[in-house]
Structure formats: C-alpha cells, structure tokens
Amino acid sequence: MRPTPFPAGDASSRRPASVPVGEGPGRALLGLVCSRIVDEWSSSVAEEKSPEDAARSGNPQVAAEGRAAKTKKTRSRDAKKKNSLATTRSWVVPTFLTLLLLGVAWLVVWYLTTSTGNRVPFMTDLGNWNMLIAMVLMGASFGVATLWK
C-alpha cells in the first residue's frame, strides 16, 4: 500500500461538506483571471487588423477607412525615417576630438613659443589671451561631448 500525503484519508475527506469538488474561492479566482486574460487577448487581436485587410474589405466605408489608415501609417513611417536622419549624432565624435586637439595644440604651441622666445605673429600679439582661447576650445569640445549617444 502506498503512503498518502494526508494522514487521515484522502483529500476529498478533508474538504468541507459545503464546497463541492472542483469549486471554491481558488477556482473562482482562477476563472476570473482566465476570463480577464481571454478578454484582453481577444480585444488586442481585434485591434490588430491591418489597414491592408480593411482596404480589401467589401464594405466601401471600411475600405475607405483602411486606405486612410494605410496612408497615415506610411506618412508616420516616412516622418520617423526623416527624423532619424535628422537626429543622427555621427558628427559629435569628430567635432569633439577636433576641438579638443585644437585646444591642446593651441596651448602647447603658445607655451613653446613663449618659453623659447620664438615669435608667431598672431599668437604673440594675443599674449595671455591664448590661454583663454585654448580653454574655450577644450571646454567647447566637452560641451559637444555631452551630445554623444
């Protein structure tokens, strides 16, 4: 004889007499959850009819609405494609690196020309403003870097 999980008889003998087998609060909750899932699924399936299906409908009003929806969908897809081209950030990295290296090069050249006594016509006339120019170039490069995605 196999041992049973319930020491005093089977599971049906432990159930209250007022609740028949297969019913109860758990069964009611399960039924409610399942019916809600089925309702949501059926409404989502009904909404997923494509404009192409509606455009081929025998009903002229439904067909006209389907063609309008198809045109609207195409326009929104074209607008998304146009927006994605306008918002590409492929220019950020080259601009960031160019401004950064230009600022560092400006600072290095200015330091080397002042320390060695060499004269660069435009840079020597600016004097200490060269440091500000270099710092602005490097700061602008980090400002551009914040646009990188």
Taking only the tens place, the pLDDT of each residue in 49-93 is 555 555 566 777 777 777 777 776 666 666 666 666 457 888 999
Residue 100 has pLDDT above 90, yes or no: yes
Residue position matching structure tokens 């389907």: 66
Q: Are 86 and 80 in contact (CB under 8 A)?
A: no
Domain end among 48, 68, 86: 86
**Cα 144 to chain centroid, rounded:** 22
What is residue 72's predicted lDDT score, i.e. its pLDDT?
67
Could you tell me if residue 70 is inside a domain? Answer: yes
Considering the domain architecture, whether residues 134 and 101 belong to the same structural domain is answered as yes
Could you tell me if residue 37 is inside a domain? Answer: yes
Whole-structure pTM value: 0.43
Q: Are 37 and 29 in contact (CB under 8 A)?
A: no
| Domain extent for 46 | 23-86
pLDDT band at 117 (very low <50, low <70, confident <90, very high): confident
Considering the domain architecture, whether residues 50 and 75 belong to the same structural domain is answered as yes
Buried b (16+ CB within 10 A) or exposed e, 48-62: eeebeebbeeeeeee
Domain end among 86, 101, 119: 86
Domain end among 66, 86, 106: 86
Could you tell me if residue 68 is inside a domain? Answer: yes
Q: How many domains does the chain have?
A: 2
